[in-house]
Amino acid sequence: MRNASSRPDRADLDAYGPTGAPEWLDVDWSRHQKWVPVGGRRVNVIDLGEGPETLVFVHGLSGSWPNWLENLPHFARSHRVIAMDLPGFGHSEMPEEQISIPGYGRMLDELMDQLGVDSATIVGNSMGGFIGAELAIQFPHRVERLVLVSSAGLTVERLRNDRALAVLRRLERQLMFWGGWAATRSDALARRPRARRAVMGLVVAQPDKLPAALITEQIRGSGKPGFVDALDALTDYPIRDRLGEIACPTLIVWGRDDRIVPVRDAFEFERLIPDSRKVIYADTGHMTMLERPAAFNALLDRFLAEGPGEDIDDGEVPGPQLSDAEARAVAAREHASEAMGASAVASSEAD
């Protein structure tokens, strides 16, 4: 891994997508891969680096550990970093019990125990943020700091649709087939602009600006059996009223153009979690850690370096952050759009 003295310049911090040669391509990941038995099943784990502090990275729905490729080498210079395929995703086996958010929280607790990690900074994207929050509530001694990157857990509680879930369960084999088909053709799909936009356009703001090699690794994690069960779990576990129990410092990171989880949820997480603060990036979608890796890594470095009583807002936030007024305007537009949609649905049902 590269020397820790290299620092991103302003252009890197403001850039969309990785800049320079990808550091993750220099890593022999097979040297850092291990199978860890958890709950009677094998979990695929990446474990590299060393240092006094440990970071645990948790991917989201339909993701896998390579979602963190632009971040793991950076933090492994001075920390132990751990990423895993959640049971039912990537190369990990399906869990013995029904997939649930509390179950994933217990899995993380057991995994940390198996790896000899007493406590760590937990960094979670989307469903991974939901799981990280659950871990911080259920096992507070495990979580020193929490980072929620476009976390699920709030708006999703109003999105449950049992009829749609039933349809997805009937189509589960076909979904797995097409996901597996895409995974086996990830190189070709990543090189074609139209296919790249079709596959990644929902989760990132500018798929054309991300390297084909990086997108290839994201596509390879698709087509796994845990998707429908995990989607069911996401919409069937309210956590809002328990977020006030999170006692650790919490950093909330969002993209202005997130098409999956609205920006207003960042405000709500900040309101509900006592020691928390948010950063919202312009021209960024659901995966800030991939879309703005230099800015994200610098932001997390600053968060990790904070002492008691210090606040990340005391210094300039790396990267193109939205002002609070701009972010509130985005959230207000989201709310107005949702209200109009709800009114249209009500009017249609009345007719």
pLDDT given for residue 176 in this prediction: 44
Average pLDDT value for residue range 142-169:
74
Task: Give the count of beta carbons closer than 10 Å to the beta carbon of residue 117.
Answer: 16
Q: How confident is the model at residue 189 (pLDDT cuts 50, 70, 90)?
A: low
pLDDT given for residue 304 in this prediction: 96
Looking up tokens 């001075």 gives 78
Question: Token digits for 72?
Answer: 């793991």
pLDDT given for residue 200 in this prediction: 84
Angle at 214 between CA 111 and CA 89, to 5 degrees: 35
pLDDT given for residue 306 in this prediction: 87
Q: Is residue 268 part of a domain?
A: yes
Q: Dump pLDDT digits (tens) for 228-263.
A: 888 888 888 889 999 999 999 999 999 999 998 999
* Residue 345, pLDDT above cutoff 50: no
* Residue 170, pLDDT above cutoff 50: no
Q: According to the per-residue pLDDT averaged within each range, which of 146-150, 155-159, 160-164 is highest?
A: 146-150
Q: 110 lies in which domain range?
A: 10-322
Q: Is residue 216 part of a domain?
A: yes
Q: Is residue 14 part of a domain?
A: yes
* Residue 191, pLDDT above cutoff 90: no
CATH number for position 50: 3.40.50.1820
pLDDT given for residue 56 in this prediction: 98
pLDDT given for residue 199 in this prediction: 77
* Residue 149, pLDDT above cutoff 60: yes
Cα separations (Å) of 11 from 49, 63, 214, 228?
28, 29, 20, 40
Can you tell me the distance from the alpha carbon of 203 to that of 325, in angstroms, rounded to the nearest whole number? 24
Q: Please report how the helices 227-234 and 162-170 are oriented relative to each other, as an axis angle in degrees rounded to 10.
A: 170
Q: Is residue 114 part of a domain?
A: yes
Q: Please report how the helices 172-184 and 227-234 are oriented relative to each other, as an axis angle in degrees rounded to 10.
A: 120
* Residue 168, pLDDT above cutoff 70: no
Looking up tokens 């879309």 gives 291
Cα separations (Å) of 306 from 260, 289, 301?
30, 20, 9
Contacts of 133 (CB under 8 A, 6+ apart): 124, 146, 148, 151, 153, 239, 243, 246
Question: Token digits for 84?
Answer: 């895993």
Q: Is residue 344 part of a domain?
A: no
Q: Dump pLDDT digits (tens) for 260-318.
A: 899 999 999 999 999 999 999 999 999 999 999 999 999 999 999 987 666 665 557 89
Name the nearest CA neighbour of 71 among 85, 59, 53, 87. 59
Q: Is residue 346 part of a domain?
A: no
Average pLDDT value for residue range 211-229:
83
pLDDT given for residue 219 in this prediction: 82
Which amino acid makes up residue 10?
Answer: R
pLDDT given for residue 171 in this prediction: 38
Average pLDDT value for residue range 195-218:
87
Can you tell me the distance from the alpha carbon of 215 to that of 85, in angstroms, rounded to the nearest whole number? 17
Q: Is residue 148 part of a domain?
A: yes
| Total number of domains in the chain | 1
Q: How confident is the model at residue 174 (pLDDT cuts 50, 70, 90)?
A: very low
Q: Is residue 81 part of a domain?
A: yes
